[in-house]
């Protein structure tokens, strides 16, 4: 499944949306809203993958690397995402993607980490011999397990 090259070539075309359409992203957002009701930002501990088993294969957990300002690493890429793209991205940084996709993701994660924004996207992926994929993404700010930094949890679910 893993690629040996330093970066992978995925073309992506995204736009921000106001309303989520995918039922799995709506479920993730509903869980998030319940978890943040008392504290503002939920903690990573509020997202038990066993409880979220119906959507876990499409989840993404992104962490800031404290030792390297601005470095972002994928703590978890759901199995459905890794199978579809044939990229073992768990444990790797967003520089894996290179080019426009990496730059766009860096900007999105800054908004999530620094401004605690909820970011909703709809778009298309092509490349790596994968078919054209229409998908919806959701990025949510969460506190790290130890409460020392803001990380992100998100869902990426295809419509086809």
> Domain for residue 50, yes or no?
no
Least confident of 32-46, 47-61, 77-91: 77-91
> Domain for residue 61, yes or no?
yes
> Domain for residue 40, yes or no?
no
Q: Report the residue count for the chain.
A: 160
Q: What would you report as the CA-atom Rg of the chain, rounded to the nearest whole angstrom?
A: 15
Residues 45-67 have a mean pLDDT of: 91
pLDDT for 2 equals: 41
pLDDT for 132 equals: 61
List b or e across 39-60, with b for residues whose CB sees 16 or more CB atoms inside 10 angstroms.
Answer: eebbbbebbeeeebeebbbbbb
Tens digits of residue pLDDT in 1-35: 444 446 776 777 889 999 999 999 999 999 999 99
Q: Around 112, how many Cα atoms within 13 Å sit in the side-chain half-sphere?
A: 26
Quote the domain boundaries for residue 100.
Answer: 10-35+57-158
Q: Which of 89, 87, 83, 78 is nearest to 137 (CA)?
A: 78
CATH number of the domain that residue 142 is part of? 3.30.450.20
Residues 43-72 have a mean pLDDT of: 89
Tens digits of residue pLDDT in 115-136: 999 999 998 877 666 666 788 9
> Domain for residue 130, yes or no?
yes
C-alpha–C-alpha distance, residues 117 and 110, integer Å: 9
What lies within 8 Å, CB to CB, of 55 at 6+ separation is 24, 27, 28, 155, 157
Claim: this prediction has a pTM higher than 0.75 = yes
How many domains is the chain built from?
Answer: 1
**pLDDT over 90 (residue 102):** no
**pLDDT over 90 (residue 38):** no
What lies within 8 Å, CB to CB, of 145 at 6+ separation is 43, 44, 45
Say which residue the tokens 């397990």 belong to: 145
> Domain for residue 48, yes or no?
no
C-alpha–C-alpha distance, residues 138 and 116, integer Å: 13
């Amino acid at each position: 499944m893993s690629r040996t090259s330093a970066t992978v070539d995925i073309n992506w075309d995204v736009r921000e949306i106001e309303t989520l359409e995918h039922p799995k992203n709506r479920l993730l957002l509903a869980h998030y809203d319940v978890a943040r009701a008392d504290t503002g930002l939920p903690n990573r501990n509020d997202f038990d993958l066993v409880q979220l088993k119906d959507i876990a294969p499409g989840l993404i957990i992104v962490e800031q690397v404290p030792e390297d300002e601005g470095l972002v690493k994928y703590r978890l890429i759901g199995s459905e995402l890794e199978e579809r793209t044939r990229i073992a991205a768990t444990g790797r940084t967003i520089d894996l993607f290179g080019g426009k996709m990496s730059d766009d993701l860096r900007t999105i994660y800054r908004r999530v980490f620094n401004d605690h924004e909820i970011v909703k996207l709809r778009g298309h992926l092509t490349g790596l011999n994968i078919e054209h994929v229409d998908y919806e993404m959701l990025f949510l700010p969460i506190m790290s397990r130890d409460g020392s930094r803001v990380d992100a949890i998100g869902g990426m679910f295809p419509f086809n």
